[in-house]
């Protein structure tokens, strides 16, 4: 049973992420979308909101499971008996950061392998941070995030204002 873990903040989940997920699915038996729960990091969606939303969004895809974790990724990976990490690369900034993380994670957990997917040119300009900036300024983010997520983002924004 090959379990792969796609860790991230997913604040919010974008078409950049969903495209990586669709491409990673044939490489594993089970794919865990692992939402990092870091109370220090200010987040637009709460982790429980992310859990509910993303569980509903991927409900038809039986190979996908949505979990949250806190602490070290390698500890979480060992706990769930997984050794494959999925990450996406958009540019050289991602590359430098991801390279350091992948090498360090392997030092901490030698069985671990990180598999990288190069972002599709259609999606490589999408970042969750930029999406939130556009949203806060009332721009149209519909080309970049799934419809269900866009609706929830707008509801959150209305509550915050
Ligand atoms: P993190 O806080 O861990 O960077 P993100 O949710 O921003 O969490 O990203 C999770 C993973 O998805 C990272 O590997 C990131 O490089 C990748 N990713 C983010 N946006 C895109 C995109 N538009 N295309 C491809 N990969 C992406």
- Taking only the tens place, the pLDDT of each residue in 61-100 is 999 999 999 999 999 999 999 999 999 999 999 999 999 9
Q: Does residue 1 register a pLDDT over 90?
A: no
Mean per-residue pLDDT for 21-48? 94
Mean pLDDT of all residues belonging to the chain = 96
CB-ligand 1 contact for 109 (6 Å cutoff): no
Q: What is the dihedral of CA 35, 58, 150, 124, to 10 degrees?
A: 70
Q: Which atom of ligand 1 is nearest to the CA of 128?
A: 7
Task: Specify whether 128 is catalytic.
Answer: yes
C-beta of 105 in contact with ligand 1 (< 6 A): no
- The reply to whether the predicted model has a pTM over 0.75 is yes
- At 156, is the pLDDT very low, low, confident or very high (cuts 50, 70, 90)? confident
pLDDT at 41: 84
pLDDT confidence tier of residue 151, bands split at 50, 70 and 90? very high
């Amino acid at each position: 049973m090959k379990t792969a873990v796609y860790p991230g903040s997913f604040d919010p989940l974008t078409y950049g992420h969903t495209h990586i997920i669709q491409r990673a699915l044939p490489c594993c038996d089970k794919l865990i979308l692992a939402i990092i729960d870091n109370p220090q990091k200010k987040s637009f969606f709460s982790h429980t909101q992310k859990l509910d939303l993303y569980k509903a969004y991927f409900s038809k895809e039986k190979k996908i499971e949505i979990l949250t974790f806190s602490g070290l990724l390698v500890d979480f990976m060992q706990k769930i008996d997984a050794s494959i990490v999925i990450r996406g690369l958009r540019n050289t900034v991602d590359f430098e950061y991801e390279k350091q993380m992948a090498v360090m994670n392997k030092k901490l957990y030698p069985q671990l392998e990180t598999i990288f997917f190069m972002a599709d040119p259609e999606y490589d300009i999408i970042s969750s941070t930029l999406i939130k900036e556009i949203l806060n300024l009332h721009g149209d983010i519909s080309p970049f995030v799934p419809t269900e997520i866009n609706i929830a983002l707008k509801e959150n924004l209305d509550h915050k204002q």
